[in-house]
Amino acid sequence: MQDIYALDEEHTQAVGELEQLWDEGYTVAAHQLGKFFRDSLSTLRNHEKAEHWFRLSAEAGNDCSEYALGKLLLTQKRTTEAVQWLDKAAHHGNQFAQYRLGKLSLTGEAVPKDVWKALEYLKSSAGQENQFAQYTLGKLYLLGRDVAQDRKQAQEWLSRSASQGNPYAQFLLDRLDQFRDPSVMLAATKLLHHMGRIFRDNSVPPQNPAGIRIDSKRRRRLTEKRMAIGHKADDHEEPLFYQQTM
């Protein structure tokens, strides 16, 4: 428990410094405070405070905070306000909000299903080189699901996604000619679903690999270190740098 208290003391000091920066007019400090309270591994983790700071930053016009606030509210099933903030972020050019709204509009989750609006959001995001939006568009046009099949567009979007290292896009590109037969398309769709399950099952390493025992304190320190250098689940959804506004 001593390590936890020491960690809390360090974090409390960091929070105080960020709050001072906020008082001096650096709106990016509020965004960082929101991320801290959302992601902290210490006992200071607090989603109510995360929402408070994301909201302050979002109201100051930070599109990253608009997106983060919308995503946080979605997890709390506060869908109406969540979509409002995601929409603001999307209109401010945030590619991750555009991608998220595109997916929601495509599935009809949290918002009414609207394929054309989904395509608009996804293309805006893909145009900013969001590999996930590019892959989604490529798969839509390849399978002809919800949109007319268009192999030329499918190849273009999948190629752009694969060039960024997306393995699912590369998988479809390597088998592009096989998607002419509807039965093959159905089989491939099932295979992609299976691949997604495998990916999810293996995305978290086993707690005790190769019989090696790591105590909880050491695991927490290792995770903290990985987060400090950028290895966390949502890093791909937020730019590395934020423009500081006064």
**Do 1-76 and 93-199 share a fold?**
yes
Domain ranges of the chain: 1-76, 93-199
Supply 157's token pair: 């979007």
* Residues 123, 233: Cα–Cα separation, whole Å: 24
User: Three-state secondary structure along 110-138?
Assistant: CCCCCHHHHHHHHHHHHCCCCHHHHHHHH
Q: If residue 220 lies in a helix (H) or strand (E), which one and from where to where?
A: helix 216-228
Q: What does the alpha-carbon distance between residue 42 and residue 13 come to, in Å, rounded to a whole number?
A: 13
Q: Which two tokens stand for residue 120?
A: 């608009």
Residues of the chain with pLDDT under 70: 1-9, 41-42, 181-246
Question: What is residue 11's predicted lDDT score, i.e. its pLDDT?
Answer: 73
3-state secondary structure of 44: coil
First to last CA, the chain: 40
At 172 the pLDDT is: 93
Residue 71 pLDDT: 96
| 18: Cβ contacts below 8 Å, ≥ 6 apart | 29, 32, 33, 36
Alpha-carbon span 76 to 67, nearest angstrom = 15
What is the pTM assigned to this prediction? 0.72
User: Contact, 243 vs 64, CB < 8 A?
Assistant: no
Give dist(CA 66, CA 241) in Å, integer: 16
Name all contacts of 86-91 with Cβ < 8 Å and 24+ positions apart. Answer: 88/58, 88/63, 89/63, 89/64, 90/121, 90/124
- CATH node for 1-76: 1.25.40
What are φ and ψ of residue 110, in 5° steps?
Answer: 75, -25
Fold of 93-199: 1.25.40
